[in-house]
Amino acid sequence: SAVISQKPSRDICQRGTSLTIQCQVDSQVTMMFWYRQQPGQSLTLIATANQGSEATYESGFVIDKFPISRPNLTFSTLTVSNMSPEDSSIYLCSVELAGATYEQYFGPGTRLTVT
């Protein structure tokens, strides 16, 4: 298994500002993902964080709005830029351990409120 921490756990931000969320894993993993979970909704994949290269974004998400870094195999950041109230959501980091079963382990999430 893997233990994942995220910082901050929650924040209240003003529109037009940016917030960077950190994700730290206690072991080296190959796959890291960033998800958004809006209130009462399922998970929407934002992007796959690639170590040492640009993230792979899903349809509807762009690098200018959600820049992602992954400088090594245990750490990644997601920035929510130029925020609006529509960005209020829970942001989740997850990792996938190598092996045949491809299960994911999730961080506790960052609850973001934009006013």
Q: Out of 3, 12, 58, 84, name the contact with other proteins by CB under 8 A.
A: 58
Three-class SS state of 87: helix
Rounded to the nearest whole angstrom, what is the least distance from the CB of residue 74 to other proteins in the complex?
18
**31: which 2 tokens?**
């796959």
Q: What is the DSSP letter of 15?
A: T
Listed ranges 13-21, 37-45, 68-76, 81-89: which one lies at the site for other proteins (CB under 8 A): 37-45
Q: Is 46 exposed, middle or buried (0-12, 13-18, 19+ CB in 10 A)?
A: buried
Q: Out of 11, 13, 22, 48, name the contact with other proteins by CB under 8 A.
A: 48
Question: Could you say whether residue 59 binds other proteins (CB under 8 A)?
Answer: no
